[in-house]
Amino acid sequence: MKKHIVVLAIIALLFSMFQVPAVAAKPQSDTIHSGSPFDNKIIKRFDSKRAMQHISYLSEDIGPRVTGTDQEKEAARYIQQQMERYGYDVSTQEFDIANRMQGQLVTSMDDNELAIRIATGSSSTTEEGVSGAIYHAGLGEPGDFSEEVVGNIALIQRGGLSFWEKVEHATEAGAAGVIIYDNADGLVPPTPSLGDNTASIPVVAITQADGEALLEEIEGSEVTATIKISEITNQKSQNVIAVKKPKGKPSDNHDIVYVTAHYDSVPYAPGANDNASGTSVVLELARIMKGYPTDKEVRFVFFGAEEIGLVGSRYYVSQLSDNELARSTANFNLDMVGTNWEEATAMFVNVVDGAPNLVWQSANDAAERLGNDSLILFERGASDHVAFYEAGIDAANFIRREPETAALEPWYHTPFDTIDKISQDRIQEAGELIGSAIYDFVRKETPRGKKGQGVNKRVGNYLLNEEPVRNR
């Protein structure tokens, strides 16, 4: 056992030697902490430097953590190891995920692999993919195609027609594949939807910049492209779960509180803010709270597969027994709490139906005690709190946004969601504020009559994430 600890200490030392220089020193907060003695048990111990090390490991050492990939599993393992170091028994809960498309676009221009999004409704290809000369087909009107496109790759500008109409015309003209380039400047390609249609050829989208570079190149010489798209089947994702039991309570009649964050990311995005930030704060709160007796059971749950439609959290909630559901009091979900985007001065408390609930009340009370005036109650789904809300549990998501417009940082879901866009001060602020709210809530019983809605299931059509579906 001792040997084990020594090895861990050496690893921790090496880790800190290599990680710390990349990260600023713990900031001097100029907030006046007027919280209660209970708040100070969290505030005095919340260490945003440790949180930054988690964000660094997840977003830099691992990088993008796409659902079902080895990188997502590696992130789950990292979280499990951290929680075990804090003294928790940790379990992982595996679940199946839907098949997904994975693809690649390589052109003969500098042998360049371009960032793509695969259209929903695209066909897959053989392993070799489809190859051909890139043919410029304007906006994809029927008159934009000549015989030259037969067996080749049509490069079509977005706009005017729907994506499906462009693909239909290209298919009729005999194209072997379609590349749609954006008609507006963007950090990432659009995600085209073909509606309910299924194409018989592969369809991918690229950015305006990449599209215009290709156009320029084919003016002078032939450029070929190879599109490969494969369907990945039988993949699994996993949730990581650690339970902190209440002091001196029978195991079957105490309240349960869920403190949650997802750790997966979208393709190409290192996911520093979305959502290594929330994951890091939950890890740090779990570390601190391990030693404190509470009246409620606290479950720290780290979800996979959030980005493909809240799959991990919905699976987790679906596996709760009626008895567990009846004792479930609240879900504090953290998703994107650390952006340094200047405009994001507010901490939104997103509630699915917009109505104040126990989580909001607890957060609002903590904000008052701490003299923090950044909270905004807001009606929004689009994260894992939806799964708990649907099961009748009071739930909210904490997320930094621009107060007037509710906008997210411009690099949301892009390759630019990197650790240099994280504010350690705001991570500290999130940890102190949300941590004080959670600790105040779990350390004591919730008075009768003040509990949430129980097991009345609520359903609705909620946004799964902030990216709109585009048909044209």
Interface residues with Zn ion (CB under 5 A) are 274-275, 335
User: DSSP assignment of 218-238, as one string?
Assistant: HHHS--EEEEEEEEE-S-EEE
Cα separation, 324 vs 321, whole angstroms: 5
Minimum CB distance to Zn ion, residue 463 (Å): 12
For residues 164 and 300, which CB has a smaller minimum distance to Zn ion in the complex? 300
What is the H or E stretch that residue 428 is in?
Answer: helix 424-442
**Beta carbon of residue 236, minimum distance to Zn ion (angstroms, whole number):** 20
The CA distance from 46 to 50, in Å, is 9
Q: How far apart are CA 293 and CA 173, in angstroms?
A: 70
Q: How far is the CB of 162 from Zn ion (least distance, A)?
A: 29
Tokens of 407: 């906008």
Supply 398's token pair: 């904490």
Q: Kindly state the smallest distance separating residue 73's Cβ from Zn ion, in Å.
A: 18
Q: Which residue type does 99 have?
A: N
The residues facing 244 across adjacent strands are 298
Query: Which of 39/274 has CB closer to Zn ion?
Result: 274
Q: Which is nearer to Zn ion, 274 or 425 (CB)?
A: 274
20/406 with CB nearer Zn ion = 406
State how far the alpha carbon of 450 is from the alpha carbons of 124, 192, 208, 348, 446, in Å: 53, 46, 53, 23, 7
Smallest distance from Zn ion to CB 383, Å: 6
- Least separation in angstroms between residue 422's CB and Zn ion is 14
Contact 97, 192 (CB under 8 A): no
Tell me how far, at minimum, the Cβ of 424 lies from Zn ion, in Å.
20
d(CA 305, CA 313): 8
Beta pairing, strands 112-114 & 100-107: antiparallel
User: Between 68 and 140, whose beta carbon lies closer to Zn ion?
Assistant: 68
Q: Which is nearer to Zn ion, 275 or 436 (CB)?
A: 275
Q: Are 151 and 174 in contact (CB under 8 A)?
A: yes
Q: Which is nearer to Zn ion, 210 or 335 (CB)?
A: 335
User: What count of residues does the chain have?
Assistant: 472
